[in-house]
Chain A
């Protein structure tokens, strides 16, 4: 509602601060940032429903969630992400053990098709294409994780109502 007017006032205040000392400028920017976050927090608190009205509801689609509505699909996604994170940690641990053993051997890197490594007195068996398969799988996982992160970001943006910014109007039109 006040976007353009706020920007106008901010620019004037900024020009005024620019004519003063650096410390004044820094205080000005810190005050503006604090005011921005404080104002946003106050508005958020003002718009919070009374505690009795806010009951967490499960179920429903991802479209235009009502207040305090928790989508079931999000639970599924969170579970999948959690399992994948555990899986990635396990893979990472395996990889780190593998690299430690490799460095202990001190020999040449694993050649294509080579299946055995002589590690001191013990013989370790590694699948011949272990590195390739795990690399491809890791690539898929990373791509999937990036996709999920983008989806979460878009979802959060939608929740804030940012898609309505282009419909905002600074002043009411006088007819």
Chain B
């Protein structure tokens, strides 16, 4: 089994963006900006560097958009990518629960 690369915040946002629906590059940029309330703004280079790595890891795959005359291609999550994203979200939930507990104990 190959090692899971670290999921950085931009990568997490990209995966979350694609979890909802397949998207093309510019749509991912805008969605990440919207999801993070403008805090995370990806540059084109950062976006495509991340997309390339995600394609290599087979977390995402290319997706042909049918409804555009330009034949634009987008990206969508693979089942493996969705599983990795779920694991990451579960890990973050566990971390959040733990942090909440620790804070609660200290304040009690």
Interface, chain A (partner B; CB < 8 A)? 1-2, 5-6, 8-10, 12-13, 31-32, 34-40, 42-43, 171
> 1/0 per residue B44-63: CB within 8 Å of A?
11111101100000000010
What is the distance, in angstroms, from A29's C-beta to the closest C-beta of chain B? 10
What is the distance, in angstroms, from A16's C-beta to the closest C-beta of chain B? 8
| 5 additional contacts (CB under 8 A) given A9-B47, A13-B29 | A1-B52, A8-B25, A13-B44, A38-B46, A39-B46
Q: Verify A32–B49 contact, CB threshold 8 A.
A: no
Q: Verify B42–A35 contact, CB threshold 8 A.
A: yes
**How far apart are the CA atoms of A40 and B43 in the complex, in Å?**
13
**How far apart are the CA atoms of A43 and B44 in the complex, in Å?**
15
Q: How many residues of B contact A (CB 8 A)?
A: 17
Nearest to B30 among chain A residues (CB) is: A16
Q: Verify A39–B49 contact, CB threshold 8 A.
A: yes
Chain B hits for A2, CB < 8 A: 48, 51-52
Nearest to B46 among chain A residues (CB) is: A35
Chain B hits for A40, CB < 8 A: 45
Q: Verify A32–B51 contact, CB threshold 8 A.
A: no
What is the distance, in angstroms, from A102's C-beta to the closest C-beta of chain B? 56
What is the distance, in angstroms, from B47's C-beta to the closest C-beta of chain A? 7
What is the distance, in angstroms, from A150's C-beta to the closest C-beta of chain B? 29
What is the distance, in angstroms, from A153's C-beta to the closest C-beta of chain B? 24
Q: Verify B44–A38 contact, CB threshold 8 A.
A: no
Q: Verify B52–A35 contact, CB threshold 8 A.
A: no
**How far apart are the CA atoms of A32 and B29 in the complex, in Å?**
12
